């Protein structure tokens, strides 16, 4: 069977660093971070009081207000991003010459509707079971983002929801790539979404000491690969891309951001939260993606790192990069989008893929901000603090998750 080429023709983002792709990209290139004090709830008693929150989100511009009442915020983020992505692809709706059964949706969420769970649990305790909304289950289940997107666009092709924590949306893009490559669909709306800046969500991360506690200086709390890093900063939002069969995209004159050429997925089989300190799983995911891309490690110009700002992850990822690239690791440009937008959990991989694709398109690598103190264990080129203009022909992006699930995507300039 001949494998079909798969390209990205549209992108949509709702993120702490911008509620559309141009704003998102401008802020990344300028090195503007979004971290600040949590405003969603009273943080009294929380060890960490910092988050990267989405601001000024106006879904009513895209979706009927009545329909929005039936969606948790994580679904709203995804649907709005999907609408923007389809418009960006020059489609808006499924065109008449494309069979809806050939249009898929693969959009995941690591946590799903935790906000509505907390809200309705309080209703249950205070008012009893008869007062719980009948929309509770449809609002909280993680697959409802993919479901609502398919309903909105009448997309009747392959539809699924990956749930692999912080690797969720990278796996969604990889799975969508495979669906088109093998001929099961011609276009797939793919990505991830998350809205877990809630009391319960943050309490859970706080008690396991995953968050930064730099509460007196939130703007500098997310500092991937820096010696003084002390944990990640939670973010929220969605990233959606339109993947399309190359021949179809070419024939309709679509603007192509880049081609997805490789996908690696592995497991650490090591620990429920900590990465393998040797970086073995991440290294194998990168090697797999690069091999499938048909390029040599030396051909990779840029890595959009997982780069969480946690002591263990950043050291393990650096070691994995050295394992894969050898001496070339020191010539690679590497940067962490999370230094500015925080960790979007299940949405991170897709939002970071948007950043990697824009790097291919514009020849600009966004910086890793808050890099002040070099760490002997993290001694590569992390593009510190200022953007860099340079041609990038091949880029990869890494997503590593709790549970030891890893994903790497490889993109190539067309």
Annotated catalytic residues are 166, 306, 343
Torsion of CA 191, 197, 200, 206, to 10 degrees: 100
Q: Which element (helix H / strand E) includes 311?
A: helix 311-325
| Paired tokens of 395 | 């880029």
| 3-state helix/strand/coil string of 110-177 | CCCCHHHHHHHHHHHHHHCHHHCCCCHHHHHCCCHHHHHHHHHHCCCCCEECCCCHHHHHHHHHHHHH
153/159 Cα distance (integer angstroms): 12
Coil, strand or helix at 51: strand
Cα atoms in the 13 Å half-sphere on the side-chain side of 339: 33
Quote the DSSP letter at residue 3: P
Residue pair 337/306 in contact (Cβ under 8 Å)? The answer is no
Beta pairing, strands 103-108 & 187-194? parallel
Cβ-based neighbour number of residue 183 at 10 Å: 13
Residue pair 114/196 in contact (Cβ under 8 Å)? The answer is yes
| Paired tokens of 255 | 């603007």
Cβ-based neighbour number of residue 29 at 10 Å: 20
Those residues whose C-beta lies under 8 Å from the C-beta of residue 392, and which sit 6 or more positions away, are: 301, 302, 333, 359, 360, 363, 365, 413
Q: Which element (helix H / strand E) includes 410?
A: strand 405-412
Tell me how far the alpha carbon of residue 246 is from its chain's centroid: 23
Residue pair 202/195 in contact (Cβ under 8 Å)? The answer is no
């Amino acid at each position: 069977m001949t494998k079909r080429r798969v390209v990205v023709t549209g992108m949509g983002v709702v993120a702490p660093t911008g509620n559309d792709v141009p704003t998102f990209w401008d802020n990344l290139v300028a090195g503007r971070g979004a971290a600040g004090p949590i405003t969603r709830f009273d943080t009294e008693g929380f060890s960490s009081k910092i988050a990267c929150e989405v601001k000024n989100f106006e879904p009513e511009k895209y979706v009927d207000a009545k329909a929005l009442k039936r969606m948790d915020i994580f679904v709203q983020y995804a649907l709005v991003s999907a609408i923007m992505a389809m418009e960006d692809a020059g489609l808006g709706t499924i065109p008449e010459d494309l069979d809806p059964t050939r249009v898929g949706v693969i959009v995941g969420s690591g946590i799903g509707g935790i906000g509505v769970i907390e809200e309705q649990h309080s209703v249950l305790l205070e008012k009893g079971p008869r007062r719980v909304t009948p929309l509770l289950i449809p609002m909280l289940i993680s697959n409802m983002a993919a479901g609502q997107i398919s309903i909105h666009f009448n997309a009747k092709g392959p539809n699924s929801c990956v749930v692999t924590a912080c690797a969720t949306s990278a796996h969604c893009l990889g799975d969508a790539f495979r669906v088109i490559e093998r001929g099961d669909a011609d276009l797939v709306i793919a990505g991830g979404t998350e809205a877990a800046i809630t009391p319960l969500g943050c309490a859970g991360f706080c008690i396991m000491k995953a968050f930064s506690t730099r509460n007196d200086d939130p703007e500098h709390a997310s500092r991937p690969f820096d010696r003084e890093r002390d944990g990640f900063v939670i973010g929220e939002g969605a990233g959606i891309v339109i993947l399309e069969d190359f021949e179809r995209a070419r024939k309709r004159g679509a603007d192509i951001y880049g081609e997805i050429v490789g996908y690696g997925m592995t497991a650490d089989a090591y620990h429920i939260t900590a990465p393998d300190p040797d970086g073995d799983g991440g290294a194998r995911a990168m090697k797999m993606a690069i091999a499938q891309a048909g390029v040599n490690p030396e051909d990779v110009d840029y890595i959009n790192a997982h780069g969480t700002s946690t002591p263990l992850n950043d050291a393990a990822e650096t070691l994995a990069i050295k394992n894969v690239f050898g001496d070339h690791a020191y010539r690679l440009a590497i940067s962490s989008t999370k230094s500015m937008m925080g960790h979007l959990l299940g949405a991170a991989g897709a939002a970071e893929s948007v950043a990697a694709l824009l790097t291919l398109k514009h020849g600009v690598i966004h910086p890793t901000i808050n890099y002040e103190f070099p760490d002997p264990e993290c001694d590569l080129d992390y593009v510190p603090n200022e953007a860099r203009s340079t041609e990038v022909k091949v880029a990869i992006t890494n997503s590593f998750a709790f549970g030891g699930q890893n994903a790497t995507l490889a993109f190539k300039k067309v």
